[in-house]
Amino acid sequence: MAKRYSNATYRLIRRLKAAGLYAAVALVLVYILFPYYWAIVTSTKSAQAIYGFSLLPSLDFSNYAQLFTNRVFMGALVNSIAVAFASTLIALVIGVLAAYGFGRLHFSAGRYLLIAVLMISVLPQVAVLSGMFEVIGWLRLYNSSGALVVSYLILTLPFTTWILTSFIRDLPVELEEAALIDGCSRLRILTHVLLPLMWPAIASTGLLAFILSWNEFLFALTFILTDENRTVPVAIGLLTGSSRYEVPYGLVMAASVTVTLPLLVLVLIFQRKIVAGLTTGAVKG
Amino acid sequence: MTPTDHAQRLQTRTAWLFVAPLLVILFAVAIWPLARTIFFAFTDAYLDDPANYGFVGFSNFVTVWEDTIFWRAVSNTLIFTVVSVAIETVLGLAIALLLHRAFFGRGLVRAAILVPWAMPMVVSTRIWDWMLNDQFGLINRILIDLGIIAKGIAWTADPTLLLGVVIFIDVWVTTPFMVLLILAGLQLIPEDLYEAAEISGVPPWKCFWSITLPLVAPAIGVAMLFRTLDALRMFDLSYVLAANNTNTMTMSIYARDQLISFQDLGVGSAASTWVFLIIGFIAILLVGLLRLDRSQH
């Protein structure tokens, strides 16, 4: 039997519930965001202030000045940008072509090949490490950015293929039927009819592939031997002081913020674009 | 031959042309290297001169099998995987349920949870390493101020705590991935189910057990499968935090160590092959379980 409360009691319960909801959301936000905020705060503190526990940034940019004159780190930044761009571009071009084959053209082997592609994406990286060493040796790419562009395709290609395939499947077939009757080639249909509609999907898939390459650690640690060819994750991983017990935390945090902030901004910007692309999608008429 | 047969054959040929570049590249960077790794596992080759080798049968596999450090790495990896995936699932479900409700600023909060996920694992690890520093770390300072501990705990130096710290950091990094997948599952549940339940006076906890959980279970299952396979091959977190410390060494670190530090292509490849077989076996088991579960509904 349900108890009956007065209107005032109901209002109170409702307000308490809302307060509880917002308190829980605030707790989640602190858990998720505070460590990154603390990295930013630490990166703007002088070598002395770092050991104080002030929760506010102190706007001392000596760590950043030191970082941007660090040739190994700046070199790593350039290498990372080049590698991630090259690997993403190749993965997108090959991925779009394959996605059209899997998503639109019906052939019996397609289903099994697509499952094989998915299986490759869960393959542990160490399982291919020895063989990849040999392939990179044959291509004479050892200790060069090219080694990473090639080896990262095992991470980015299955991913772009899989996502773009599901996206092409969702596009209406009517779009290309007219073009097909007019005698357009399949490649022309892909580049002139589908591609203009796919750019939001390509942009968000490309961003994710870029993040995968940008963050990769194992191959970058293994196939690059010298400091001037390193990428940022490894450079940050190996950034130490004169001894193991004397880590320059201010510098490490400045490096961490530098390599993460542009990506985070992109993720936030593109998130809106993905949503917009999906809502305006649907064919008209 | 009928015209439709001809059209179908033409389409099949075109399809192969479109997927050919993908197949060629994946053969070169995945299938072939995997096959060569397994091949090298049966040889006594060294990394500096891989062309010079002799066949040694299964002896590399036996060497790895009899190495107690390998089993330590396997048990570390399994403990890490089971505990962190379990915590991530529960926490991910809780946060997803929270973010599924309507509140002011929900879009921003959903964007914010992408932050730990988009960061390089190296960066997350070093941030937490700093926060957990025994003398100057914020966590110890807060615990001391709250009177919970008397003096700083050496989180990242104490061997008994190290694996726990690795799990803690991994939970922070990957829970957002769980939240996103579970949230997508929650959005598929039709709203009128809850309305019907409310009208019939079903209490909220029963709604959760009888409506939400069964309907979101497939999404959770898939998310857990991917997280498990990802956790089993974990390398960077342990490596950046503690290099090849045996308390946190994973299977991937062990295999790479044999290959690179000891330059032993044969034993390193055998270790890699063991890792591949162990993860493959678990993958087949989990996919089988998921299928079984689906067919019962």
**Interatomic CA distance for residues A46 and B157, integer angstroms:** 26
CA B52 to chain centre: 36
Amino acid (one-letter) located at A227 = D
| pLDDT number for residue A279 | 32
CB contact under 8 A, A130 and B37: yes
User: How many residues are there in chain A?
Assistant: 285
- On whether the CB atoms of residues B223 and B181 are closer than 8 A, the answer is yes
What tens digit of pLDDT does each residue of A25-84 get? Answer: 999 999 999 999 999 999 999 878 888 788 888 888 899 999 999 888 999 999 999 999
Count residue pairs from A and B with Cβ separation < 8 A.
251
CB contact under 8 A, B109 and A154: no
Chain B residues close to A108, C-beta within 8 Å = 12
CB contact under 8 A, B34 and A237: no
Q: What is the DSSP annotation of B254-292?
A: HHHIIIIIS--HHHHHHHHHHHHHHHHHHHHHHHHHHHH
| pLDDT number for residue A284 | 23
From residue A252, alpha-carbon distances to A73, A259, B67, B120 in Å are 11, 11, 36, 13
- On whether the CB atoms of residues B131 and B138 are closer than 8 A, the answer is yes
**Interatomic CA distance for residues B24 and B249, integer angstroms:** 35
CB contact under 8 A, A131 and B19: no
- On whether the CB atoms of residues A229 and A143 are closer than 8 A, the answer is yes
**Interatomic CA distance for residues A225 and A232, integer angstroms:** 14
Residue A226: how many other CB atoms lie within 10 Å = 9
Residue A271 corresponds to which tokens in the numbers above?
């998130």
- On whether the CB atoms of residues A257 and A102 are closer than 8 A, the answer is no
CB contact under 8 A, B118 and A53: no
CA A63 to chain centre: 26
Residue from the list A39, A51, A267 with its beta carbon closest to the beta carbon of B127: A39
Calculate helix-pair angle for B265-296, A129-138, nearest 10 degrees.
120
| pLDDT number for residue A283 | 25
Q: What are phi and psi of B203, to 5 degrees?
A: -65, 150
Chain A residues close to B103, C-beta within 8 Å = 21-22, 25
Q: What are phi and psi of A235, to 5 degrees?
A: -60, -45
| Low-confidence residues of chain A: pLDDT under 70 | 1-4, 241-245, 272-285
- On whether the CB atoms of residues B186 and B269 are closer than 8 A, the answer is no
| pLDDT number for residue A282 | 25
Q: What are phi and psi of B215, to 5 degrees?
A: -80, -25
Going by C-alpha positions, the residue among A216, A261, A91 that lies closest to residue B239 is A216
Amino acid (one-letter) located at B203 = P
DSSP class of residue B55 equals B
**Interatomic CA distance for residues B18 and B14, integer angstroms:** 6
Going by C-alpha positions, the residue among B66, B45, B271, B172 that lies closest to residue A124 is B271
Q: Is A233 on the interface with B (CB under 8 A)?
A: yes
DSSP-based three-state secondary structure for A44:
coil
| pLDDT number for residue A4 | 66
- Count Cα atoms within 13 angstroms, Cβ side, for A257: 20
What are the residues whose beta carbons fall under 8 Å from the beta carbon of A152, sequence distance 6 or more? A83, A87, A212, A213, A216, A219
User: How many residues are there in chain B?
Assistant: 297
CA angle (B277, B88, B291) in 5-degree steps: 50
| pLDDT number for residue A169 | 86
User: What distance in Å separates residue A205's CA from the closest CA in chain B?
Assistant: 14
CB contact under 8 A, A129 and B268: yes
- From chain A residues 58-87, the ones with a CB under 8 A of any chain B CB are none
- On whether the CB atoms of residues B251 and B257 are closer than 8 A, the answer is no
**Interatomic CA distance for residues B26 and A102, integer angstroms:** 15
pTM of the model: 0.91
Chain B residues close to A153, C-beta within 8 Å = 25-26, 29
**Interatomic CA distance for residues A237 and B205, integer angstroms:** 46
- Which run of H or of E encompasses A158? helix A153-170
Q: Which of B12, B19, B77, B174 best probes binding to A when mutated, by most A CB atoms within 10 angstroms?
A: B19
What tens digit of pLDDT does each residue of B180-199 get? Answer: 888 888 888 888 888 888 88
- On whether the CB atoms of residues B218 and B294 are closer than 8 A, the answer is yes
- On whether the CB atoms of residues B130 and B137 are closer than 8 A, the answer is yes
**Interatomic CA distance for residues B226 and B141, integer angstroms:** 36
Mean pLDDT by 10 residues, chain B (297 residues): 77 92 97 97 90 92 96 97 97 93 84 86 94 90 90 88 96 90 84 86 86 89 91 95 91 95 93 97 92 72
User: What distance in Å separates residue A17's CA from the closest CA in chain B?
Assistant: 12
| pLDDT number for residue A2 | 53
From residue B5, alpha-carbon distances to A111, A186, B12, B13, B87 in Å are 20, 18, 11, 12, 54
Calculate helix-pair angle for B121-131, B159-186, nearest 10 degrees.
130
